[in-house]
Amino acid sequence: MNTLDAFATHLVENQPEPFATDSLYRRDPALCEAVAREGAAWAEPALIAYGAAMASEGLDLGVDANRFRPQLRTHDRYGHRVDEVEYHPSYHRLMTLGVEHGVHAFAWREPRPGAHVARAVLSYLHHQAEQGTSCPLTMSYAAYPVLAKADGIDPQWLNKARAAHYDPHNRPMADKAGVTFGMGMTEKQGGSDVRSNSTRATETADGSYTLIGHKWFMSAPMSDAFLVLAQAPGGLTCFLLPRWRPDGSANALRIMRLKDKLGNWSNASSEVEFCNAFAQRIGDEGRGVATILEMVALTRLECLIGSAAEMRMALSQAVHHARQRQAFGQLLIDQPLIRNVLADLALESEAAMVLAMRVARAVDGGGRDPREAALARLATAVGKYWVCKRAPAFVNEAQECLGGAGYVEEAMLARLYREAPLNSIWEGCGNIQCLDVLRTLRREPEARAELLDELNRVAGQNAALDDEAAALAALLSQPDALEPIARALVERIAMALQAATLLRARSPLAAAFCASRLGGGRRQAFGTLDQGFDWDAIAIRLP
């Protein structure tokens, strides 16, 4: 025997091939069905194209965009203040793909029924490949309707906000073909309590304002402009704060440092100071929260979409591994206990996705149908709370399917696990969402009515859901007494909405979802489905 052969101990066998797919859209039958069901079938060519782009390019770009984190450069070599964040080229390529395909503006470029559903799908596909770049793309999408209602804002902001051109250079808006937007609300002393913000706004002779203060969290600080909240003489007010003043000089926006975050590494999140920064008022003084809430409603929807996307990709990674890895003489996917885990994850993933797309349709139809608008106001917070809460445990369970291989940085699941808690924190933590649900139920009886109608549209199709709908109707008749149990209530509403949407979709997973989540059937861990679950029906939906 050759001496070298005697020490060849690293023969690679029983290892899966690297994860690859030709499309993140076509290989997802439940998503394709949701597109048709929720009114966006006309946009399918764009969705097919982006699903292919994220599979062929986006997945690989996401690796380097997160490996090489953004770096803050406050000054140039000569001592001039520059306040620039430098990103890896993979980040810019992901942003280019997202902007060109309309992740940030599809609904504003194509103002027709179903456009917000189509944009939600684009975001769902993008987020599966890379999560950090979803932040500036989403904030740009969400800022648009707020700016569209503002008086005295240069219309070029809107024209360039929906442009299919990404320009990463730090220069005035007038010199760019496309722009992106960020948002700054949180301050050190207040967190979610934005009414305690201390940043001060002073009006100048020309009607603009100067801002002095800070923001404790401001993501995507290289955006071209930001919607921020500050205290004006008339109270908390919303402002547009650009990186450059109209005269072409740099605005007094100082990036103090970048946050050293648990995850979301490709996306820079920063602490900033405003040192007499130029800003323009959006909406009336004292109406800042009401003004910016339209943006927040859309970014909350994005948190729901993003968590559903993370679930889908985590499931894809787990199924890919289980189909190729053997243990104890069998492929993992042929073993009953692994099948139970994967089936349970598949139920959760599809339920999260169909709820996200149903809420996107409610947002889409809100301007035409007051019932859809009422459902959107309620269901956005419900979905944001529940799906974002489920994502961390879901991703961890998917990691377990890979064992130790799922815990190393070379596996995508390690990044997904770091990402998973974020959407439940951004745009208001869990208690904020639950309080918003209660507030909507108290103030808007039409939202309660539309929720119950949504459940009753599938009445008679599943006894467990019928019982849950009746129980919720009784609970919701006393909204003033629900705050102590708000989390349990919102959880129940979420699962009932998911069940109703799956039934309306005629999903082969609907019966198993209802049996395992409603009527006392739910258990604490994934992989605890009853023995009679239909593996064959679930297997056809797996990635």
Which CATH superfamily does the domain covering 290-539 fall into? Butyryl-CoA Dehydrogenase, subunit A, domain 3 (1.20.140.10)
For the segment 362-368, the average pLDDT, to the nearest whole number, is 96
Q: Which residues contact 231 (CB under 8 A, 6 or more apart)?
A: 197, 198, 199, 200, 201, 237
Whether residue 160 contacts residue 179, with contact meaning beta carbons closer than 8 Å, is answered with yes
What CA–CA distances, in Å, run from 237 to 214, 271, 300? 15, 20, 21
Instruction: Say yes or no to pLDDT of 532 above 60.
Output: yes
Q: Please say whether the beta carbons of 113 and 368 come within 8 A.
A: yes
Give residue 479's pLDDT band: very low, low, confident or very high (50, 70, 90).
confident
DSSP 386-432: HHHHHHHHHHHHHHHHHGGGGGSTTSHHHHHHHHTTHHHHTTS-HHH
Band the pLDDT of 10: cuts 50, 70, 90: confident
What are 509's two structure tokens? 């997973």
Question: Is the separation of the CB atoms in 174 and 214 below 8 Å?
Answer: no
For the record, the structure tokens of 191 come out as 């967190």
Closest CA to 94 of 50, 46, 31: 50
The 3-class secondary structure across 130-144, one letter per residue, is CCCCHHHHHHHHHHH
Query: Would you state the pLDDT for residue 3?
Result: 63
pTM score, two decimals?
0.96
What's the pLDDT score for residue 2? 67
Query: Position 478: which residue type?
Result: Q
Domain spans of the chain, in order of start: 29-161, 173-287, 290-539
Distance CA 386, CA 493 (A): 9
pLDDT given for residue 487 in this prediction: 96
- pLDDT one-digit tens code per residue, 386-398: 999 999 999 999 9
Task: Write the CATH number of the domain with boundaries 173-287.
Answer: 2.40.110.20
> What is the arithmetic mean of pLDDT over 4-22?
83
**Nearest of 91, 151, 115, 148 to residue 42 by alpha carbon:** 115
Average pLDDT, the chain: 95
8 A C-beta contact, residue 62 and residue 129: yes
- Res. 355: pLDDT tops 90: yes
Residue with the bigger pLDDT between 524 and 225: it is 225
Taking 90 as the threshold, does the pLDDT of residue 481 lie above it? Answer: no
Give me the pLDDT at residue 4, please.
65
pLDDT band at 6 (very low <50, low <70, confident <90, very high): low
Position 254 pLDDT exceeds 80: yes
8: region left, alpha or beta (phi > 0 left; psi from -120 to 50 alpha): beta
Residue 122 amino acid letter: L
Q: Is the pLDDT of residue 230 over 70?
A: yes
Residue 71 phi/psi, 5-degree rounding, is -125, 135
Helix (H, G, I), strand (E, B) or coil at 279: strand
Structure-block tokens of residue 116? 């917000």
156 pLDDT more than 90: yes
Main-chain phi, psi angles of 93, to 5 degrees: -65, -40
Which pLDDT score is estimated for 435? 95
Q: Which pLDDT belongs to residue 16?
A: 92
The pLDDT tens digits for 135-145 are: 999 999 999 99
- Looking at the chain, the whole-number percentage of residues with pLDDT higher than 90 is 90
Q: What is the pLDDT of residue 413?
A: 97
Q: Which residue from 293, 266, 260, 281 is spatially nearest to 136, judged by alpha carbons? A: 266
| Of 369, 368, 423, 366, residue with least CA distance to 394 | 423
3-state secondary structure of 287: coil
The model's confidence at residue 219, banded by pLDDT at 50, 70 and 90, is confident
pLDDT over 80 (residue 522):
no
C-alpha–C-alpha distance, residues 225 and 236, integer Å: 19
Rounded mean pLDDT of 181-202?
87
Alpha-helical (H) ranges within 87-191 are 89-101, 106-109, 115-129, 134-148, 156-161
Is it the case that residue 329 has pLDDT exceeding 60?
yes
